[in-house]
């Protein structure tokens, strides 16, 4: 039987090819490149979906379980490697739903890279690819539902951030301050993903991540100046897409937090213990709650909401990488 790691890697190759053809489509606007981009994205989703099934079988074998309850009791996303695969898979799947709904492929080149960065970080940071036995705290029927709902929320945050970057590229009045914010936030993402795992050579990783952020901003600026953004949806449509992706993420983050609290009651005797993961999950939830309040109640529109979206994604990055790898707590087993 083909291993789950092989399937996950094959899916990443498909995502890379999808990104390549989305980029070609954005430059050439040829129908064939757009179709190939979508086809490779769906192929990656299908292959990695099969990878999760195989991973579930592998986890059941490692935990010496053979009945039908194995998949949700020993769900295949309980460590950094598996959960990052789930993040990338879910982000691409959600993007494809948005692509189908809005009949626009142009923002694929903004979203697919975020999924790829998440999945490729498993290779860069050297997370174990082996299916491992579950610690007792994770051996629960709540595992599948809590993790899946939370990561759908994380994936929606990534989609909304990708749309926010496309939004700034599309706007004609993007200022120097906007570009500085884009650079700093991207720098934070690259730096924190790398440094949270190695925690050494601070200056070196600071420089490497700055170069990566500059390259990203340069690519975004090139996209803006070459007129590729003209095939993106209108500013109003991008704002609506941001809102909908944030709303989806907020709903699933809310469900994930509630399920986590119920699970904590059974596992640790209390609904809430102010564990670092719980605290930062709440902070992330509050950022997106503020976004929805500002848009829906206060009627705020424009750049401030795009900033909210990016800040929310930064909070997701810290909640996931920072809390798991730097701050010790009840969720430290997720490494």
Residue 333's pLDDT band, with cuts at 50, 70 and 90, is very low
Cα 323 versus chain centre, distance: 16
Cα–Cα distance measured from residue 134 to residue 60, given in angstroms and rounded to the nearest whole number = 10
Q: Between the CA atoms of 298, 299, 303 and 305, what dihedral angle is there, to the nearest 10 degrees?
A: 60
Cα–Cα distance measured from residue 125 to residue 127, given in angstroms and rounded to the nearest whole number = 6
Q: What is the mean pLDDT of residues 19-41?
A: 90
Query: What does the DSSP 8-state code read for residue 133?
Result: P
Q: Which residue has the higher pLDDT, 202 or 179?
A: 179
Cα–Cα distance measured from residue 333 to residue 189, given in angstroms and rounded to the nearest whole number = 23
Q: Which residue has the higher pLDDT, 284 or 128?
A: 284
Buried residues in 226-251 as b, exposed as e (16+ CB within 10 A): eebbeebbeeeebbebbbbbbbbbbe
Quote the pLDDT of residue 68.
54
Query: pTM, whole model, 2 decimals?
Result: 0.82
Quote the pLDDT of residue 28.
82
Q: Which residue has the higher pLDDT, 232 or 74?
A: 232
Q: What is the mean pLDDT of residues 299-317?
A: 86
**Is the confidence at residue 197, as pLDDT, over 60?**
no
Quote the pLDDT of residue 16.
94
Tokens 């102010």 sit at which residue? 274
Residue 332's pLDDT band, with cuts at 50, 70 and 90, is low
Helix intervals (H) in the chain? 4-28, 31-62, 70-73, 80-102, 108-124, 142-170, 176-198, 202-225, 235-268, 276-292, 303-317, 323-325
Domain carrying residue 144: 4-334
**Is the confidence at residue 84, as pLDDT, over 70?**
yes
User: What are the φ and ψ backbone dihedral angles of 257, each rounded to 5 degrees?
Assistant: -65, -40
Query: Side-chain half-sphere of 295: how many Cα atoms within 13 Å?
Result: 23
**Is the confidence at residue 199, as pLDDT, over 80?**
no
Q: Which residue has the higher pLDDT, 139 or 254?
A: 254
Quote the pLDDT of residue 82.
83
Q: Which residue has the higher pLDDT, 203 or 247?
A: 247
Number of domains in the chain: 1
Task: Return the minimum-mean-pLDDT range out of 34-48, 190-204, 299-313.
Answer: 190-204
């Amino acid at each position: 039987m083909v291993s789950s790691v092989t399937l996950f890697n094959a899916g990443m190759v498909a995502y890379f090819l999808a990104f390549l053809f989305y980029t070609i489509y954005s430059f050439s606007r040829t129908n064939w490149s757009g179709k190939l981009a979508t086809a490779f994205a769906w192929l990656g989703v299908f292959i990695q979906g099969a990878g999760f099934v195989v991973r579930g079988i592998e986890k059941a074998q490692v935990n010496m379980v053979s009945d039908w309850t194995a998949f949700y009791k020993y769900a295949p996303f309980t460590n950094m490697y598996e959960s990052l695969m789930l993040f990338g898979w879910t982000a691409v799947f959600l993007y494809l739903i948005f692509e189908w709904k809005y009949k626009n492929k142009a923002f694929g080149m903004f979203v697919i890279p975020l999924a790829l960065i998440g999945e490729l970080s498993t290779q860069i940071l050297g997370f174990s690819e082996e299916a491992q036995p579950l610690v007792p705290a994770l051996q629960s029927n709540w595992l599948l539902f809590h993790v899946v709902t939370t990561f759908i929320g994380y994936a929606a945050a990534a989609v909304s951030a990708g749309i926010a970057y496309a939004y700034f590229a599309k706007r004609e009045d993007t200022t120097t301050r906007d570009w500085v914010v884009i650079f700093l936030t991207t720098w934070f993402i690259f730096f924190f993903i790398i440094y949270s795992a190695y925690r050494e050579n601070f200056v070196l990783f600071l420089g490497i991540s700055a170069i990566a952020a500059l390259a990203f901003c340069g690519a975004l600026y090139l996209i803006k100046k070459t007129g590729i953004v003209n095939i993106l949806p209108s500013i109003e449509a991008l704002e609506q897409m941001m809102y909908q992706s944030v709303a989806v993420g907020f709903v699933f983050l809310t469900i994930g937090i509630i399920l986590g609290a119920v699970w904590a009651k059974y596992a640790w005797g209390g609904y809430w213990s102010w564990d670092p993961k719980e605290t930062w999950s709440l902070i992330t939830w509050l950022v997106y709650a503020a976004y929805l309040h500002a848009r829906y109640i206060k009627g705020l529109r424009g750049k401030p909401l795009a900033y909210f979206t990016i800040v929310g994604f930064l909070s997701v990055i810290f909640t996931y990488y920072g809390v798991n790898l730097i701050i010790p707590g009840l969720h430290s087993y997720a490494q």
